[in-house]
A and B are shown apart, each in its own frame.
Chain A
Amino acid sequence: MKVLVKFWSYFRDHTGCAETALELAKGTTLGETHAAVLDEFPKLAGSKNSTLKAVGLEYEDDDFVLSDGDEVSFFPPVQGG
């Protein structure tokens, strides 16, 4: 299945891109996707534990199972205000 991963804030500086398309096995979780992204973009590893993860417009946990066509966002802690 295909999943689009988007990066926000300074994560884009670490990846050098705003998004990447991944081909994943059916049943892949959000946490497994995060691990795959860290393999591809090792500069994000330093922020591993503070990374916020969303699928679509909702925050999700690492055990969330992704579906074909999902849009995943990875970003650092938010700083509004």
Chain B
Amino acid sequence: MKTELTISTGAIDAAALAKCREMGKGMGAVICFSGVVREIEGDAPITAINYEAHEEMARHQFALIFDTVEKSWPVESVRLVHRLGVVPVNEPSLWVEVTAPHRAEAFDACQFVIDEMKQKVPIWKKPIPA
């Protein structure tokens, strides 16, 4: 399984990422998920979220998650981008792409990656009030 992980302060360009996709001819499903900063955090309006990570551990924990995906589903590739630093409202903080032969495993693997990330990958957010 091919994996690509980017953790950076740069803006996520989903169109550019899609353009770089390399997909085998046996693949029939591509799932792309973008997690976008909402204007409300809890009950309070915000302008942005400041993301912080224990980056070395985050990379390791993502690698463990990708290992589990490889053992669990016939997935061809997982690409994941998580933005750090200040991410304004309406901009993506997370982008995940999974390619697989069929949609069921692609959806399941994508959901798994995000669920596991939210349990194990040391990234934290600090909302910036409006």
A31 at the interface (CB under 8 A from B): no
**B contact face: mostly helix, strand, loop, or mixed:** mixed
B52 at the interface (CB under 8 A from A): yes
Residue from the list A6, A57, A79 in contact with B123, Cβ < 8 A: A79
Which residues of B sit under 8 angstroms from A76, Cβ to Cβ? Answer: 124
- Beyond A9-B52, A57-B56, A57-B60, whether A78 also contacts B93 by CB under 8 A is no
- Is the beta-carbon distance between B57 and A78 smaller than 8 angstroms? no
Q: Give the distance in Å from the alpha carbon of A52 to the alpha carbon of B120 in the complex.
A: 9
Which residues of A sit under 8 angstroms from B119, Cβ to Cβ? Answer: 78
- Is the beta-carbon distance between B118 and A75 smaller than 8 angstroms? no
A-B contact pairs, 22 of them (CB 8 A): A8-B52, A9-B126, A10-B126, A52-B122, A54-B57, A57-B57, A59-B120, A73-B57, A75-B54, A78-B117, A78-B119, A78-B121, A79-B125, A80-B82, A80-B117, A80-B118, A80-B121, A80-B123, A81-B82, A81-B93, A81-B114, A81-B117
Binding site for A on B (CB under 8 A): 35, 51-54, 56-58, 60-61, 82, 93-94, 114, 117-126
